[in-house]
A and B are shown apart, each in its own frame.
Chain A
Amino acid sequence: EAGVTQSPTHLIKTRGQQVTLRCSPISGHTSVYWYQQALGLGLQFLLWYDEGEERNRGNFPPRFSGRQFPNYSSELNVNALELEDSALYLCASSFTAGGHYEQYFGPGTRLTVT
């Protein structure tokens, strides 16, 4: 069974630019979660999508946005990049029916903002 995939692996952008990160969940999973993992800060929850809808968002500014497609894949968009956006962005997927809360993580996209 294929795991969660993310693209690209690494990305270098300049402050003020925009970036799009992509995630494909495990087959059969309807929920996709996005996290930011900055050095020393653990995982900070960004966004949760389920069945194409944004269900919850973390304490991040509106320039962090995304969407989920009918095939349950997802995009994370970050506008007006700032230096502190440099981090590893992780995508995770899970079932949501029946109380299956376990999340399966992808390898992440390493974003560097210069």
Chain B
Amino acid sequence: AQSVSQHNHHVILSEAASLELGCNYSYGGTVNLFWYVQYPGQHLQLLLKYFSGDPLVKGIKGFEAEFIKSKFSFNLRKPSVQWSDTAEYFCAVNEGGSYIPTFGRGTSLIVHP
């Protein structure tokens, strides 16, 4: 069965620091990849997604992610975090043709002002 690993469970950064959150998956075929974010007290919402094409995907609020097929990875990055980026981040992967994503366990990010 498909599995999705988010290696960092808790990350604490100061404002302006760079961020990289890891996401690895186990499925070897075609995948659709997502990062979702859940800000405190808010709904889970889509940050960015990859279906095909350029493996470097840009999302909202300055986030980007790179799909590296050979490494089964889809890491999330932001060059300079802000206090408002404090949230829970979830990586999700659909096997090709599946409508059911598998979610990682999430990474809690705290950004200190």
Contact = CB atoms under 8 A, between A and B. Distances in A.
Partners in one complex: yes
Interface of A: 3-4, 31, 33, 35, 40-45, 48, 50, 55-56, 58, 90, 92, 94, 96, 99, 101-108
Interface residues of B, number: 21
Contact of B101 (A31, A96, A101, A107): A101
Interface string B46-90: 100101000000000000000000000000000000000000001
Contact of A42 (B34, B45, B106): B106
Contacts, number: 52
B94 interface: yes
B44 interface: yes
24 contacts: A35-B103, A40-B105, A42-B90, A42-B104, A42-B105, A42-B106, A43-B90, A43-B92, A45-B103, A50-B99, A55-B99, A56-B100, A94-B99, A99-B51, A101-B51, A101-B99, A101-B101, A102-B46, A102-B49, A104-B45, A104-B46, A105-B45, A107-B42, A108-B43
Contact of B32 (A35, A42, A45, A101): A101
Contact of A105 (B32, B43, B49): B43
Contacts of B106: 42
A87 to B, nearest CB: 14
Contacts of B34: 102
Given A41-B105, A42-B104, A31 B99 contact: yes
Interface in B2-45: 32, 34, 36, 42-45
A79 to B, nearest CB: 23
Question: Ordered nearest first, which 8 A-B pairs have the shortest CB separation?
Answer: A42-B105, A105-B44, A43-B103, A42-B103, A105-B43, A42-B106, A107-B43, A101-B32
